[in-house]
């Protein structure tokens, strides 16, 4: 007798069997000014579009609709900023009024439907209000992470060609104030596209100098504005552009549209995250990243939740209990953050002492994403919190999860190391280089059969050719995720590394991610990275970097020896893992991704450019010294 299907299986099967009916039903949850003509327009493959002919407004669906339906007094947005000692709350009616007024300010600045607006902002309510205000009038926002390097900002200005730039005088890190305006001024100088107007939010921590005729004080511009109404836009019109680094040095402008985006993100809140209207949801990310767009701003508000905008860190603002103070104080039911945040908390508070100081009775699920979650971190978090910990996987390009344990459909058994199974709409395949599907247990390139579900990128900004070249050529008929992994016999997905991080050691294809799992399980290790380094004899060999937990006093040489033994025991001599080094910290992007590619180049003495997204460039000098101490880069023979 066949096993009874669970709710997840039924929903997933239905989404692939009849995607038109599935997504049409999901779209009934969204308010449309005009219903669509076609759910999926497949007339111009590989450029598929969702809900063609439909008209809607994302801001209306995220804000006004809740007021119109009698929930205007509910909290919509809580701004919690330990770095400025500020907590500010907006109800839905207050948020609507602020957004409508700032939308009127944008109109007064000459912004119309289809115009691009760049936001170069810290984590302040004005940034969220500005994003929603753009959506309200049909303008396309492009958020650039505040404090991003001037030359990178200039590239984005040239590609998006904004009519207006919105900025603030500064951002605030744990112990320092970062002036934004000099960086913006330099970017505008470098850019070929000339920005004619900037609105500047002056923060008291650092006042910005203004350029006469171009720069306008934010509050002065906003004073007395006439509120603007929501403008219906086509479902296929862009909501925003979010840039991700390109291999050519030219950033890729990932587009997300209005219609499919609203449908899939609203569906995800209930079905993936298991969170409903009126509940408090917190994505501890930044609006400069896709997580901030999807799960600080749009999805929680579309679902009628209360969302938290947090200007702080997991540790240091003021201590490793920072997250638990926010959860307790605001009644958070679900937290979404990166594994690196938890590794930082675990490093500073390995026994979870700070968790015990707070009432976490409201808290029911922790979601981790943004990079591979090693099983040790997941198990530590689950043990200390006593709630389910859900690893899930997705990308800037998809805008919402590709694989997850869908809490709203009934939790499946957790397998540490796996983000569980594909989410509805994602026809996920594990492929060889020549596009053959691989059996369970074999590592290959993870691809998604076209068409992609709603909310995923339909193309790159003004660059259809780049979209095809970057994502659609390696596996014809499929979207290339760029990640490598496998499925087990139960259909669970395992993301092992980027495709480029599968290393070839003496003819054996090995995953650096599998080695990282082994290192992360060592009791003294807080976090780690493994990179493949060129070797004259074996082609490539793995080199491990580890950061130890706070309070570890054993010798680094002893720890390194134990790590080498662990990999030999768990993976085997075939891994040729013979070198590990203890470092103070790992180089990361501001979103927490470890810069493995840069570390590899340092080890190989290859030329590299300091990544624009790096959190602290000084770390690269520390990595260079650590590598020298273990004999890298190696002198070539002969």
pLDDT for the residue 504: 74
* Burial degree of 195 (CB within 10 A; 0-12, 13-18, 19+): middle
Local structure of residue 324 (DSSP, 8 states): H
pLDDT for the residue 636: 57
pLDDT for the residue 4: 53
Residues 321, 326, 331, 336, CA torsion sign: negative
Rounded to the nearest 5°, which phi and psi values hold at 570? -85, -35
- The pLDDT tens digits for 314-346 are 999 999 999 999 999 999 999 999 888 998 899
Q: How are beta strands 508-511 and 502-505 bridged, if at all? A: antiparallel
Collapsed DSSP state (helix, strand, coil) of residue 406: coil
pLDDT for the residue 360: 97
In a domain, 282, yes or no: no
In a domain, 593, yes or no: yes
Domain CATH number, residue 558: 3.30.300.30
The residue to which tokens 């205000």 are assigned = 133
In a domain, 153, yes or no: no
In a domain, 154, yes or no: no
Sorted by sequence, the CB contacts under 8 Å of residue 620 that are 6+ apart come out as 587, 598, 602, 610, 614
> Within the chain, which residues score under 70 in pLDDT?
1-4, 246-249, 500, 506-509, 635-638
In a domain, 399, yes or no: no
pLDDT for the residue 419: 96
Helices 92-108 and 125-137, axial angle in degrees (round to 10): 70
Instruction: Give the range of the structural domain holding residue 558, as residue numbers without chain letter.
Output: 506-629
Going from the C-alpha of 335 to that of each of 108, 250, 429, 585, the distances in angstroms are 38, 34, 29, 25
Euclidean distance between CA atoms 122 and 392, whole angstroms: 26
Number of domains in the chain: 1
In a domain, 580, yes or no: yes
Euclidean distance between CA atoms 598 and 587, whole angstroms: 9
pLDDT for the residue 246: 57
In a domain, 553, yes or no: yes
In a domain, 594, yes or no: yes
Sorted by sequence, the CB contacts under 8 Å of residue 211 that are 6+ apart come out as 185, 198
């Amino acid at each position: 007798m066949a096993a009874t299907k669970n709710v997840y299986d039924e929903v997933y099967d239905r989404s692939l069997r009849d995607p038109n009916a599935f997504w049409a039903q999901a779209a009934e949850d969204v308010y449309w000014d005009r219903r669509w003509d076609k759910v999926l327009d497949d007339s111009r493959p590989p450029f598929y579009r969702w809900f063609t002919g439909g008209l809607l407004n994302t801001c209306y669906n995220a804000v006004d609709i809740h007021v119109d339906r009698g929930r205007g007094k509910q909290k919509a947005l809580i701004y919690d900023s330990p770095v400025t000692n500020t907590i500010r709350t907006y109800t839905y009616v207050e948020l609507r009024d602020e957004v409508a007024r700032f939308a009127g300010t944008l109109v007064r600045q000459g912004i119309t439907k289809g115009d691009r607006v760049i936001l170069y902002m810290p984590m302040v309510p004005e940034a969220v209000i500005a994003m929603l205000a753009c959506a309200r009038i049909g303008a396309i926002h492009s958020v650039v992470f505040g404090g991003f390097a001037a030359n990178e900002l200039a590239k984005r200005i040239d590609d998006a060609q904004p009519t207006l730039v919105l900025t603030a005088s500064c951002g605030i890190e744990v112990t320092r104030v970062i002036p934004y305006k000099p960086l913006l001024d330099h970017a505008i100088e470098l850019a070929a596209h000339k920005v004619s107007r900037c609105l500047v939010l002056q923060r008291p921590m650092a006042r910005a100098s203004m350029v006469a005729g171009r720069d306008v004080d934010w509050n002065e511009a906003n004073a007395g504005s006439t509120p603007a109404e929501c403008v219906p836009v086509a479902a296929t019109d862009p909501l925003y552009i979010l840039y991700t680094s390109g291999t050519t040095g030219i950033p890729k402008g990932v587009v997300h549209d209005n219609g499919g985006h609203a449908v899939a993100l609203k569906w995800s809140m209930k079905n993936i995250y298991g969170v409903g209207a009126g509940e408090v949801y917190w994505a501890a990310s930044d609006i400069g990243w896709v997580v901030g767009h999807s799960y600080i701003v749009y999805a929680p508000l579309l679902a009628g939740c209360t969302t938290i905008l947090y200007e702080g860190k997991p540790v240091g603002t003021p201590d490793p209990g920072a997250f638990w103070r926010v959860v307790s104080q605001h009644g958070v039911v679900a937290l979404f953050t990166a594994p690196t945040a938890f590794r930082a908390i675990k490093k500073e508070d390995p026994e979870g002492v700070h968790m015990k100081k707070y009432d976490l009775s409201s808290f029911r699920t922790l979601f981790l994403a943004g990079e591979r979650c090693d099983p040790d971190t997941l198990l530590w978090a689950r043990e200390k919190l006593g709630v389910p910990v859900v690893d899930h996987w997705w990308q800037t390009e998809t805008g919402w999860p590709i694989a997850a344990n869908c809490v709203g459909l009934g939790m499946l058994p957790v397998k540490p190391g796996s983000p569980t199974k594909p989410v509805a709409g994602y026809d996920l395949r594990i492929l060889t280089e020549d596009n053959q599907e691989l059996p369970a247990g074999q590592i290959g390139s993870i691809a998604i059969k076209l068409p992609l579900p709603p909310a995923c990128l339909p193309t790159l900004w003004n660059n259809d050719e780049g979209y095809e070249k970057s994502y659609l050529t390696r596996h014809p008929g499929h979207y290339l995720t760029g990640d490598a992994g496998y499925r087990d016999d139960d259909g669970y997905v395992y993301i092992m590394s980027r495709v480029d991080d599968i290393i070839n050691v003496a003819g054996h294809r090995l995953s650096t991610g599998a080695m990282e799992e082994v290192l992360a399980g060592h009791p003294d290790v807080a976090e780690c990275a493994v990179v493949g380094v060129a070797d004259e004899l074996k082609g490539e060999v793995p080199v491990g970097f580890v950061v130890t937990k706070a309070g570890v006093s054993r010798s680094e040489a002893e720890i390194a020896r134990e790590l080498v033994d662990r990999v030999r025991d768990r993976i085997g001599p075939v891994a040729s893992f013979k070198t590990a080094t203890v470092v103070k910290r790992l180089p990361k992007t501001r979103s927490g991704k470890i810069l493995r590619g840069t570390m590899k180049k340092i080890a190989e003495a290859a030329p590299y450019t300091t990544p624009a997204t790096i959190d602290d460039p000084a770390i690269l000098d520390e990595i260079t010294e650590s590598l020298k101490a273990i004999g890298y880069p190696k002198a070539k023979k002969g």
